[in-house]
Structure 1
Amino acid sequence: MTQPFLIGDSMTGGYGGADILHSCTIAVEKGEIAVIVGPNGAGKSTAMKAVFGMLKLREGSVRLQGEDITSLTPQARVRKGMGFVPQTSNIFPSMSVEENLEMGAFIRHDDIKATMEQVYELFPILRDKRRQAAGELSGGQRQQVAVGRALMTKPSVLMLDEPTAGVSPIVMDELFDRIIEIARTGISILMVEQNARQALNIADKGYVLVQGENRYTDTGQALLADPEVRKSFLGG
């Protein structure tokens, strides 16, 4: 069997004493969108942080392109091609949009102009506001800066923790459209999302977590069509 492009395999762990994740498995293929959904306190963001190395696993492993990266720091994982956008504190508010993007390229020693141009093509409003302090932007525009900054590392995997938290439905739809565009370039997307129905609609694969365990795993469309999933997690 071929290995998934990225997998957090049978992950068990938590912060200090009690385990939050219980033999939880999350995987994403190259160029696919995988979405983690579930009720509050299900361990969704914890699973994401475990994959990125922000949580020490008691059991299980994380592999990227077949390589075991379980012992690597988050910084080392960025160098391996993982980009992570946390839900909060994900921009430098006093810096300009352009400076935020430049900070995203901190690990690179080549010319970053072409990547910056790609970010501006993906998010045209950022080009217009590139000299403006990022903290002055709307919530949706700040999210675009955060995603753009992660893309500046030229990641092979982009991990997004609640990318549409606190934005309007119109902005959410626009962000999801951009996420689809990013995946089409071959970048794998792994995201945690509260707007489960909309997220599963764009997902190649969906994971429903409950109390740190895998409850349902299937394609996004299959989960949307599953009466049990709809009743319990999607409001009917």
Structure 2
Amino acid sequence: MLTLQSVNSFYGGSHILHDVNFSLETGKILSVLGRNGVGKSTLLKTLMGLTSSMTGSLTLNELELGDQTTFYRARSGMGYVPQGREIIPDFSVKENILMGRFADQTSKGEIPDIVPELFPYLMDNLDRAGGLLSGGQQQQLAIARAIATNPQVLLLDEPTEGIQPNIVEQIEDCILRLNKELNLTIILVEQNIRFAKRASDEFLILDNGRLVCQGSGNELTDDLANQYLTI
């Protein structure tokens, strides 16, 4: 479904990702792991076309996206929840969600049916400004906005970082539901090894912008975590 071949990514003259290769099948969850600053977020931004430039091949369902704009990639099936959420604080909850609909060519401008099931709080507060929500509620809003794009692949950049503990489990369960019930393919940048082990069909580990290890979820061992992920 999604294939990267010899992908290099750059911020200006800085070479961040080096010859990254992987393929991901439909309906799988891939966890992207590594220490801080090794290129995990850059990988997701590269997929969305948000770095200065990239070389190599990026295909989604055999459609080459490597030279396409961010908007075209969203229209082609890439949904993205960035680190820090980046909701529009002065927009209402409803307006933030419906922003995602601009990327869905089949949409009638309505909130997706699964959003009320996953996030009843948002539905009870549609007219509330997004900036008044707690961090965990804003994360739910950012996920709802990404779902509204009707994605084939959902990119999640540390979705439980800085979230109050009572909402972390809700977000983790939401991710698993999206995968199981919608057969949604997910790429998850995550520092929580426990959740990565629980959720992942596959994993890859980055170090200094290079892919140093990858495998199936059950191969993500404590030894690997100690080798590549501890400080």
User: What is the TM-score when the length of structure 2 is the normalising length?
Assistant: 0.91
| Structure-2 residue corresponding to 1:27 | 23
| Structure-1 residue corresponding to 2:168 | 172
- Asked whether 1:197 is paired with 2:194, we answer yes
CA offsets per residue over residues 139-192 of structure 1, 9 Å max, x none? 111011011011111111111112111113332222111001111111111121
CA distance in 2 between counterparts of 1:55 and 1:47 reads: 9
Q: CA deviation at 1:234?
A: 5.0
CA offsets per residue over residues 45-74 of structure 1, 9 Å max, x none? 111111111125553210001121110011
| Structure-2 residue corresponding to 1:231 | 226
Contact 1:196–1:234 (Cα < 8 Å) also in 2: no
- Structure 2: where are the runs of 5+ without partners? none
Contact 1:48–1:159 (Cα < 8 Å) also in 2: yes
Over 3 Å counting, the alpha-carbon distance change for 1:134 and 1:124 in structure 2 is same
Structure 2 SS opposite 1:105: helix
Count of aligned residue pairs for this structure pair: 229
**Structure 2 residue aligned with 1:139, among 128, 135, 142?**
135
**Structure 1 residue aligned with 2:116, among 111, 114, 120?**
120
Over 3 Å counting, the alpha-carbon distance change for 1:87 and 1:96 in structure 2 is same
Deviates more, 1:104-113 or 1:11-20: 104-113
Aligned-residue sequence identity (percent) comes to: 38
- Asked whether 1:157 is paired with 2:153, we answer yes
User: What is the TM-score when the length of structure 1 is the normalising length?
Assistant: 0.89
Superposition map of 1:60-99 within 5 A: 60-88=56-84, 90-99=86-95
Deviates more, 1:83-92 or 1:37-46: 83-92
Q: Which amino acid aligns with 2:90?
A: S
CA distance in 2 between counterparts of 1:220 and 1:235 reads: 19
CA offsets per residue over residues 48-107 of structure 1, 9 Å max, x none? 111111125553210001121110011000111111111125211112111111222124
CA distance in 2 between counterparts of 1:56 and 1:131 reads: 36
| Structure-2 residue corresponding to 1:218 | 215
Over 3 Å counting, the alpha-carbon distance change for 1:89 and 1:110 in structure 2 is closer
CA distance in 1 between counterparts of 2:33 and 2:135 reads: 22
Structure 2 SS opposite 1:23: strand
- Structure 1: where are the runs of 5+ without partners? none
| Structure-2 residue corresponding to 1:39 | 35
Over 3 Å counting, the alpha-carbon distance change for 1:39 and 1:18 in structure 2 is same
Contact 2:55–2:66 (Cα < 8 Å) also in 1: no
CA distance in 1 between counterparts of 2:209 and 2:107 reads: 41
CA distance in 2 between counterparts of 1:87 and 1:235 reads: 21
CA offsets per residue over residues 90-129 of structure 1, 9 Å max, x none? 211112111111222124464243x533211111111122
Over 3 Å counting, the alpha-carbon distance change for 1:84 and 1:46 in structure 2 is same
| Structure-2 residue corresponding to 1:111 | 108
